[in-house]
Amino acid sequence: MVKLCKFPVDLVIEARWLATVAADQAVLENHAVVVQAGVIIDLLPIAEARQKYTASSLVCLENHILIPGLINCHTHAAMSLMRGLADDIALMPWLEQHIWPAEQAVVSAPYVQDASLLACAEMLSGGITCFNDMYFYPQATAAAVTQAGMRANLGLLVMDFASAYANDADDYLQKGFDAHDTWRSNPLISSSIAPHAPYTASNQTLQKVITYAEQLGLGIHTHLHETQDEIVKSEVQYALRPIQRLAELGLLGPSFVAAHGVHLLENEIQLLADYGCHIAHCPSSNLKLASGIAPVTQLLATGVNVALGTDGAASNNRLDIFAEMRLAALLAKGTTGDASVVPAKQALAMATINGAKALGLDDKIGSIELAKYADLVAVRLDDIATAPYYDPISHLVYSCGREHVTHTWVAGDLRYSHGVYANIEPNELKEIINLWQVKLSQLKVEQHKK
């Protein structure tokens, strides 16, 4: 008898169910994912994997579903320390009277690094392996991302208003490009140019954004049509709705990610589809700030790629894509009167492969397929609060929460498991929270006195 040699590999994950989120949306039962050098090299039945491979690390998940890493397509990670700072207030008063003054008082490179690390910990524990960010001091965010070992697309923030970070649009751009150069060799970090919003950037600034984005091959990430007030002010100042203005300037295209897209006319939805743009749908933030509900079913029906985002913790107050999946599906059903729209499989796609497409990373992440990075999340289905289970994808979206995440891998490296982080110490997070909470609490007291 000839003894067959087994191939040595880094990692084999055996799972009860495997949601590929591939084009055929296959759900595989009792399958294994084989990983070598951070990349998926095989998907096959568990019995066959045991005969074919020997792994340095073997993880058996008898009552779990393995899914692609969740992608948070719009957030401001460093606002995690402002969670609950100003609740139950509409967007513009929230920004002008609370958030912007707080940022003026505390935002610095150390603050951004600390707050972003806290955000990374929250996201990893909830199965988020990649996030699309926009904030001041992106190099400080990059340091936190590097420590956490997760993936991020970092926006190079641009606006016309001075801050502690930069003096004017040119200063923002230069500092952003300098930061971009520092992480160009990091395979887990990519960049986009991030004009804050049409109402904080002049035509001249936006034209510079287009020029640099084309020269550097970077995407564009901005807020768009989040509130009716934003649209009214644009019509007064420019005699154009914001999306029309951006279209005339030449910003729209397949590398354009618009956060929110709440107030869109039918022709504007078609415009987004024609240009191949992407919408980062942030249902919780939009509801909490009373901004409205995005027309997700119309966007999807027209062919616009819709991904999911949390927005910042200051306006959500969770960096929780499980919550956004469920809410996105339920809102779509409730607003249309059609229980069949945004089914569970589509909601999961919005949280994974659609986000990857928006970031131009769908050849690398977003689904469990050969030659993609092993950004993977294990979700336990046998909890008392979630039993029994019949359809694992439906169960994942409608019954499970981030508390059911047991393992999070990024490029095959285990970054979180059962409450333990690979590179983040809980005591470090406690010190960060205590330090900045005191400073922000003092600021809030001073604001109340005025």
The 10s digit of each residue's pLDDT in 325-379 is 999 999 999 999 999 999 999 999 999 999 999 999 999 999 999 999 999 999 9
> Of the candidates 227, 262, 232, 277, which has an alpha carbon nearest to the alpha carbon of residue 95?
227
Delimit the CATH 2.30.40.10 region(s) of the chain.
7-68+366-418
What's the predicted TM-score (pTM) here? 0.97
**DSSP, res 373:** B
3-state secondary structure of 216: helix
What tens digit of pLDDT does each residue of 6-36 get?
999 999 999 999 999 999 999 999 999 999 9
* Position 449 confidence tier, pLDDT thresholds 50, 70, 90: low
Q: What is the reported pLDDT for 446?
A: 62
DSSP code per residue over 301-345:
HHT-EEEE----GGGTS---HHHHHHHHHHHHHHHHT-TTSS-HH
Average pLDDT over residues 265-281: 98
Judge whether residue 320 has pLDDT over 50: yes
What residue ranges of the chain are covered by domains with CATH 3.20.20.140? 70-358
Architecture of the CATH domain 70-358: Alpha-Beta Barrel (3.20)
> Is the pLDDT confidence value at 450 over 60?
no
Q: Would residue 102 be called left, alpha or beta, if left means φ above 0 and alpha means ψ between -120 and 50 degrees? A: alpha
Distance (Å) of CA 46 to CA 17, 51, 117, 409: 11, 9, 36, 19
Positive or negative: CA dihedral 384, 404, 306, 226 = positive
User: What CATH number is given for 7-68+366-418 in this structure?
Assistant: 2.30.40.10
Q: Is 20 helix (H, G, I), strand (E, B) or coil?
A: coil
In tens, the pLDDT along 150-186 reads 999 999 999 999 999 999 999 999 999 999 999 999 9
